[in-house]
Amino acid sequence: MSNNKYTDFGFKQIPIEQKEQLVAGVFDSVAQKYDLMNDILSFGIHRSWKKHTINCSGAKAGDKILDLAGGTGDFTEKFSKIVGSTGEVILSDINANMLSVGKERLTNKGIVSNVRFVQANAEQLPFEDNYFDVIVISFGLRNVTNKDKALAEMHRVLKVGGRALVLEFSKPTNQLLESVYNVYSFQLLPLIGDIVANDADSYRYLAESIRKHPDQETLKQMMIDAGFSQVGYQNLTGGITALHRGFKF
């Protein structure tokens, strides 16, 4: 792509071809303490968001599931137990370090028999058409350079009748909550990142990337434009996160 095309990296505008490398740098830095920081920064609430997502997935024994941008594999761990020996879960992430942490974590727990690990870009998925029953992308879409392309790829590899779920930070529905959330995100989050992970900059970027991510209605329309049907969303924790769900018919 030409150098005069720019995209967001947090609040900065950068040449579009640089974003993938810069995002990789962020996750290379945070990979080893990613799960610990998730627990600290969300006060453990992320676990309930993810449990709700799994409950809404409709996953069942024998399903093929893609845990996209799945990082350390917490969704893969749960889905592996649901789909059983006749199913398959693919843990996919663009970042080799995140994927390595996920593979080590799941291997140590003995969760390998029905799991595959694939390093892949969400914009160019290396899977055949109509392959997966369920696709989940959790807190990953906002880091993708071309979100429309990633959604179109998710639609392509999803089976007819399958469903895609996007769990992502979103826009709080209450003004007071949004004000408190802003103070937390831009003042406390980088500070905690510095203390626990020795990396304030990466967590500052993560806070900024949340603000640049499409709001609930915009993402809903993007999923419709990508071909999904019956698209809807549910706000969680006052809209701090939202779970979008769409089907392929």
Amino acid at 151: L
Amino acid at 93: D
Asked if 127 and 158 touch (Cβ cutoff 8 Å), the reply is no
- Residue 13's φ and ψ, nearest 5 degrees, are -105, 125
Which segments of the chain does DSSP mark as H helices, in order?
19-30, 34-41, 45-55, 74-83, 96-108, 147-157, 175-183, 189-197, 200-212, 216-225
201 is in an annotated binding site: no
- How far apart are the C-alpha atoms of 177 and 147, rounded to whole Å? 27
Give the DSSP letter string of 36-78: HHHHHHTTTHHHHHHHHHHHTT---TT-EEEEET-TT-HHHHH
63 is in an annotated binding site: no
122 is in an annotated binding site: yes
59 is in an annotated binding site: no
- Residue 225's φ and ψ, nearest 5 degrees, are -65, -30
* 10 Cβ contact partners less than 8 Å away, ≥ 6 residues apart: 204, 205, 207, 208, 209, 212
* 222 Cβ contact partners less than 8 Å away, ≥ 6 residues apart: 147, 148, 151, 214
- How far apart are the C-alpha atoms of 190 and 184, rounded to whole Å? 9
93 is in an annotated binding site: yes
Amino acid at 80: S
Binding-site annotation, residues for S-adenosyl-L-methionine: 72, 93, 121-122, 138
Binding-site annotation, residues: 72, 93, 121-122, 138
